[in-house]
Amino acid sequence: MRRRRFLQGIAAATFQPALSACMRSAREEEQVEDEEPEGIALQLAAGSINRMYGSAFSEMMLNASSRARAMTLTQCASITPEWSLKWDRLAPSANSTDFTAADAIANFARTHGKRMRGHTLLWHQGVPTWAGEQLQNTREWDVVRSYFNAVMPRYGDIVDEWDVVNEAIEIGHRPDGLRHNQFMEAFGPEYIDWAFWTARDAAPQARLYLNEYGLEYFSAEEGARRLNLLRLLERLKSRGVPIDGVGLQAHLDLRKGKVYREGIYGLLRDITNMELGISVTELDVREADSGGSLEARDRAVADEVRRYMDIVLQFPNVGSVTTWGLSDRYSWLRYKDGGRRDNRGLPYDDKWRRKPMRSALEAAFLGQQSTT
Ligand code: 9MR
């Protein structure tokens, strides 16, 4: 009864239509048996080279599937709430907050000794309507400050690292390469400085990160994104803004070809030279649209992940690698407009069978050739 009520709540709260189908088949999911034994848990493989492995985790995974919970606990040292720490989830209206889902995920982490990544504070797609209107009308930074003060200390015991500003770069918006978003509109480009200063006040011990996407491929656009990100970081550092590191989302995309080794290496080298930390925050792979056998598709996904990991793991300041989910069953790519409903871009398939991507991650952490 309690479970049914919860599931109805989630179905109403989310805008992903296919989720209820996932929930209906949760029982079937829990019955699936491992076809082959696991290798070394990913968290242990990553731990052997002093990195932390984690996954995105949602209230749906927490409540609808014991399988998802068990696999998360076995494989991950940290979890990133996929939805529930976003501003629009925490404060749906001006006079009410709802920490139910975020607290449930945080308590799951606390109970099982996991860390939680703080994702994400300022994101143009996560601003509740009321806050967007207030920012536009009043231009008062206190709206942002109150929000940071409400959320950051609440999870101070398990969140070591926050994505303070998410997706600040956009090509074609402004000459400085910054995105024209609600914060830019209200406060100008200094909003990024203020966000880091405010976050530092609210969580003095936490590491404060800028999280960005679209940095992995050889194209004019992604080249410009890399350059503009570096320029932004230089400006922040020169002004003494308290930024500790950069989150690389790493939504890889086989439609774009292979990851651009020199571009990624140069980006990480330059970030490293600024004495910033680096986290891979949302790794997954969007498949190309063409067919092919499952085996060939899974091999292509794994190869791309391996190419990427081999570059980033050369940098000791890459402290963590988070995949944007564990099982394809819960991947956002399956619900994305124009995405393949059968995308296979995570370590486990939709029945929680390990795939070559799982082996590629493990082998990359252990410094071995991939064997499957
Ligand atoms: O995967 C997330 C999806 O389920 C949500 O509907 C969406 C809006 O909250 O956010 C997705 O996660 C995004 C992340 O927060 C920021 N980088 C891009 C991710 C995929 O869109």
Has residue 33 been placed in a domain? no
Q: Is residue 31 part of a domain?
A: no
H or E element, residue 318 = strand 318-323
With the most atoms of ligand 1 within 8 angstroms of its CB, the residue from 124, 332, 336, 346 to mutate is: 332
Percent helix / strand / coil, the chain, rounded to 5: 50, 15, 35
Render pLDDT for 298-333 as a digit per residue (tens, 0 to 9).
999 999 999 999 999 999 999 999 999 999 999 999
How many angstroms separate the CA atoms of 312 and 159, rounded?
23
Q: Which amino acid residue places its CA nearest to atom 16 of ligand 1?
A: 166
Cα 124 versus chain centre, distance: 15
pLDDT at 364 over 90: yes
| Position 82 pLDDT exceeds 70 | yes
Angle of helix 356-366 relative to helix 294-312, nearest 10 degrees, comes to: 20
Boundaries of domain holding 166? 2-22+38-371
Residues in a beta bridge with 364: none
* Token output for 149: 């003060």
Predicted confidence at residue 291, as pLDDT, reads: 82
Kindly state whether residue 224 falls inside one of the protein's structural domains.
yes
What residues line ligand 1, using a CB cutoff of 6 Å?
82-83, 86, 120, 125, 166, 213, 249, 282, 332
Q: pTM of the prediction?
A: 0.92
pLDDT digits (tens, 9 = 90+) for 152-172: 999 999 999 999 999 999 999
Q: Is 287 a catalytic residue?
A: no
pLDDT score recorded for residue 227? 98
Distance 218 CA to ligand 1 centre (A): 24
Q: Is residue 157 part of a domain?
A: yes
Residue 140 lies in a domain: yes
Look at the chain and report how many structural domains it folds into. 1
Structure tokens, 269: 């080298």
**CA 331 to ligand 1 center in whole angstroms:** 10
**Nearest residue to 63 via CA among 98, 30, 110, 96:** 30
* pLDDT tens, residue by residue, 177-227: 999 999 999 999 999 999 999 999 999 999 999 999 999 999 999 999 999
To test the pocket of ligand 1, the residue of 16, 19, 83, 328 to mutate (highest count of ligand atoms within 8 Å of its CB) is: 83
CATH code for position 269: 3.20.20.80
Rounded to an integer, what distance in angstroms lies between the CA atom of residue 179 and that of residue 167?
A: 8
- 161 among known catalytic residues: no
